[in-house]
Amino acid sequence: MVSVGTVVWLSSELMFFAGLFAMYFTLRSTSAQMWADETAKLNFPFALINTIVLVASSFTCQMGVFAAERLQPRRTGGVFAFSRWGMNEWFILTFLMGAFFVAGQTTEYAMLVSEHVSLSSNAYGSAFYMTTGFHGLHVIGGLVAFLLIMGRSYAAKKFGHFEATSAIVTSYYWHFVDVVWIGLFLVIYVLK
């Protein structure tokens, strides 16, 4: 039931982001020259590195899910024996990669503000900050979820199917956030 509920909820989130994409494309179609001028201020290599880190975090998240499915919350070997890592080690790495992404997005915002691109500067600024900002809030929500899942695994007397299911549905959310970012990255940074 939890998995079905999560998928239904993510469907509503998909509609929310579809609305943001529609706003972006509508504003872009009415202000082509402004879009060309403003997108020239984007730092593509910086955003690409940030994107690679976020996409890679989906793989580490999935490794944590595999460990949760084995009912293995913690590592059974050395710190560098990655094949023996448990859910918590993989989720800690995922958390750090997600936090890196949020820090990178914050840095990019600071760089754009120094270029006079802000939420209220023009239609481009509004569209850029609303789409990426709402996505960033979703990433932060995922980071909080990882903390809760890891805390629950430490608090549980025995790691069982309930804890594993929680980890799995959290991964659904994380993968969703990553896929949305790939779409945003392609629309904002690649399509000119």
Structural domain boundaries of the chain? Answer: 22-190
Query: Cα 168 to the chain's mean position, in Å?
Result: 16
Q: Does domain 22-190 have CATH number 1.20.120.80?
A: yes
| pLDDT for residue 50 | 97
| pLDDT for residue 133 | 95
CA–CA distance, 70 with 114 (Å, rounded to integer): 49
Q: Which tokens sit at 165?
A: 């299911």
Which residue in this structure is represented by tokens 């896929």?
179
| pLDDT for residue 191 | 87
- pLDDT tens-digit profile, the chain (192 residues): 777 888 888 888 889 999 999 999 999 999 989 999 999 999 999 999 999 999 999 999 999 999 999 999 999 888 888 889 999 999 999 999 999 999 999 999 999 999 999 999 899 999 999 999 999 999 999 999 999 999 999 998 899 988 999 999 999 999 999 999 999 999 999 987
**Angle subtended by helix axes 2-30 and 32-39, to nearest 10:** 110
Q: Which tokens sit at 88?
A: 């918590």
Using an 8 Å Cβ cutoff, are 32 and 25 in contact?
no
Q: Which tokens sit at 20?
A: 């943001």
Using an 8 Å Cβ cutoff, are 189 and 46 in contact?
no
Which residue in this structure is represented by tokens 């070997």?
77
| pLDDT for residue 171 | 95
